[in-house]
């Protein structure tokens, strides 16, 4: 070995970098270790010259002096690593970092999908549907069982056969049963002993046809009609003598119509229904001042409370007495049903429920009547109706009965024949 050649001096040679592919050149061919001339193995240590017989100081790769005319050498190939800050320690609730093989879910912005929580909305929806279906059914059953039923519609000898449509007989009773003395004074009902027993101030025949408008016929309480087992007398006398059962028989005998349903309501029922609705609006054509009925109402549209509405349907302190009272009763019934069947009442349980319970508590119906029969009646009266009075022939004083009201026999016969055949009443027979 020539010591003058620096390339041959092991102390001054730089070890070339290990062969490897560069960024723009193919990798050099592999040679067996030791075949390359002048190659210094990685296990060799390059040292600086020291005293004779002693090893010199080891040199780092960067301190090895370059060799003259020697090919350039490089440090071992290194892959640069970018600087990254250490991630903060995970906190409770943080999403764990993704691994190399994790793929982000579509539409999550690179975040892994969160675990889905089990939703129980189907159970709640089913429970809500059960409640919505069960509540009206339970309320209907409760109201139907709460009805006060009495035997009214009973077969008797010579009873009229079945006629067209459905006929209701509605009676308003002046009974004070269930009223406290304070309520009697508030409602101005007077003393029941002075009333001479239970009487009916309101009698209406409601005919519901298979098609067409419902007809409401007011039956004057002073109508002079034949009463089974008693003879001819005022219609109100049948109610006083035999109650609802005899009243139904008298109406069937006088009109030739078969009564299918019956309902009676007392003084307290009128007032409680109106108060449950928060009062009703009425338009009076003339002022009414009746101390006996406890009212002093001006003419025009106004808001009536329960006691005022009761006095309005009872008063006879008008020019035509009973005829005006029947008209007032029809006006009251129309206003009551209009508000009772309005969306604001039906959708508000705080109004609908007290109204229904108050009506049930104050009603008496036949043994065969049910709450759904009353619902059909209310629906029929809610739609278009024809309100009229039985054709009147005049008034007459009769010994033992006083002043009575006579029906026009010819017109009354045609009037009720049309209803029995489920036909509209001719316009010339209507009295409004």
* Structure confidence at residue 311 as a pLDDT band (50, 70, 90): confident
Q: Please, what is the average pLDDT of the chain? A: 78
**Cα(355)–Cα(277) distance, rounded to whole angstroms?**
7
β-pair type (295-297, 385-389):
unpaired
pLDDT (tens digit per residue) in 38-86: 554 554 555 555 555 566 666 555 555 555 555 665 556 667 777 777 7
**Cα(238)–Cα(226) distance, rounded to whole angstroms?**
9
Q: Write down the pLDDT at residue 205.
A: 95
* Residue 169 domain-assigned (yes or no): yes
* Residue 73 domain-assigned (yes or no): no
Q: Write down the pLDDT at residue 426.
A: 92
* Residue 145 domain-assigned (yes or no): no
Q: Write down the pLDDT at residue 191.
A: 47
pLDDT (tens digit per residue) in 382-414: 878 898 999 999 989 998 888 899 999 999 999
Categorise residue 188: left if φ over 0, alpha if ψ from -120 to 50, beta otherwise.
left
**Cα(341)–Cα(347) distance, rounded to whole angstroms?**
10
Q: Write down the pLDDT at residue 362.
A: 82
Distances (CA, A) of 377 to 25, 218, 343: 102, 16, 18
pLDDT (tens digit per residue) in 235-284: 999 998 989 999 999 999 999 999 999 999 876 677 778 888 888 898 88
**Cα(177)–Cα(105) distance, rounded to whole angstroms?**
77
* Residue 312 domain-assigned (yes or no): yes
Identify the sign of the CA torsion 358, 363, 367, 369: negative
**β-sheet bridge partners, residue 247:** none
pLDDT (tens digit per residue) in 162-171: 999 999 999 9
* Residue 417 domain-assigned (yes or no): yes
Q: Write down the pLDDT at residue 231.
A: 92
Three-class SS of residue 244? helix
* Residue 23 domain-assigned (yes or no): no
In the chain, how many domains are there? 1
Q: Write down the pLDDT at residue 193.
A: 40
**β-sheet bridge partners, residue 202:** 172
* Cα 388 from chain centroid (whole Å): 37
* Structure confidence at residue 179 as a pLDDT band (50, 70, 90): low
In degrees and rounded to multiples of 5, residue 139 shows phi and psi of -65, -40
What average pLDDT does this structure show over 200-208? 87
* Residue 286 domain-assigned (yes or no): yes
pLDDT (tens digit per residue) in 144-160: 999 999 999 988 888 99
% of the chain at pLDDT higher than 70: 68
CATH of the domain at 407: 3.40.630.190
**Cα(365)–Cα(198) distance, rounded to whole angstroms?**
17
* Domain coverage including residue 323: 151-429
Q: Write down the pLDDT at residue 50.
A: 56
**Cα(83)–Cα(250) distance, rounded to whole angstroms?**
109
CB 308 within 8 Å of CB 197: no
Whether pLDDT at 415 is above 90: yes
Q: Write down the pLDDT at residue 405.
A: 92
**Cα(331)–Cα(218) distance, rounded to whole angstroms?**
12
* Residue 227 domain-assigned (yes or no): yes
* Structure confidence at residue 195 as a pLDDT band (50, 70, 90): very low
Select the highest-mean-pLDDT range: 82-86, 208-212, 289-293, 318-322: 208-212
Residue, of 359 and 30, whose pLDDT is higher: 359
**Cα(270)–Cα(244) distance, rounded to whole angstroms?**
18
Nearest to 240 by CA among 204, 276, 200: 200
Rg (CA), the chain: 53
Q: Write down the pLDDT at residue 28.
A: 59
Whether pLDDT at 190 is above 70: no
pTM of the model: 0.66
* Structure confidence at residue 30 as a pLDDT band (50, 70, 90): low
pLDDT (tens digit per residue) in 333-384: 888 888 888 888 888 888 888 888 888 888 899 999 999 999 899 888 887 8
Q: Write down the pLDDT at residue 194.
A: 44
């Amino acid at each position: 070995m020539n010591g003058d050649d620096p390339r041959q001096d092991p102390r001054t040679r730089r070890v070339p970098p290990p062969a490897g592919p560069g960024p723009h050149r193919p990798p050099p061919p592999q040679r067996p270790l030791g075949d390359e001339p002048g190659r210094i193995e990685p296990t060799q240590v390059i040292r600086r010259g020291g005293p004779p017989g002693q090893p010199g100081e080891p040199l780092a790769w960067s301190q090895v002096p370059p060799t003259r005319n020697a090919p350039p050498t490089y440090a071992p190939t290194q892959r640069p690593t970018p600087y990254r800050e250490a991630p903060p320690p995970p906190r409770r609730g943080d999403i764990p970092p993704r691994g190399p093989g994790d793929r982000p879910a579509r539409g999550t912005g690179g975040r892994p999908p969160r675990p889905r929580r089990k939703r129980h909305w189907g159970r709640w929806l089913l429970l809500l549907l059960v409640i919505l279906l069960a509540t009206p059914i339970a309320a209907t059953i409760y109201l139907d069982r709460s009805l006060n039923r009495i035997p009214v519609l009973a077969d008797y000898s010579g009873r009229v056969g079945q006629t067209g449509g459905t006929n209701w007989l509605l009676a308003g009773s002046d009974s004070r049963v269930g009223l406290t003395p304070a309520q009697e004074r508030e409602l101005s009902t007077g003393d029941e002993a002075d009333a001479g027993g239970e009487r009916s101030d309101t009698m209406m025949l409601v005919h519901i046809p298979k098609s067409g408008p419902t007809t409401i016929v007011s039956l004057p309480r002073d109508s002079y009609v034949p009463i089974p087992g008693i003879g001819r007398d005022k219609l109100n006398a049948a109610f006083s003598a035999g109650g609802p059962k005899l009243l139904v028989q008298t109406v069937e005998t006088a009109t030739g119509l078969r009564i299918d349903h019956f309902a009676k309501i007392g003084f307290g029922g009128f007032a409680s229904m109106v108060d449950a609705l928060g009062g009703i609006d009425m338009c009076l054509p003339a002022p009414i001042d009746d101390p006996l009925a406890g009212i002093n109402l001006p003419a025009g549209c106004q808001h009536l409370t329960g006691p005022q509405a009761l006095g309005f349907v009872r008063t006879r302190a008008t020019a035509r007495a009973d005829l005006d009272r029947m008209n007032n009763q029809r006006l009251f019934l129309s206003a009551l049903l209009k508000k009772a069947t309005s969306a604001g009442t039906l959708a508000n349980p705080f109004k609908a429920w007290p109204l229904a319970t108050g009506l049930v508590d104050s009603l008496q119906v036949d043994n065969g009547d049910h709450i759904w029969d009353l619902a059909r009646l209310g629906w029929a009266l809610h739609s278009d109706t024809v309100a009229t009075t039985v054709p009147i022939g005049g008034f007459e004083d009769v010994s033992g009965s006083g002043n009575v009201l006579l029906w026009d026999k010819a017109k009354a016969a045609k009037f009720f024949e049309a209803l029995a055949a489920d036909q509209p009443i001719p316009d010339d027979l209507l009295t409004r």
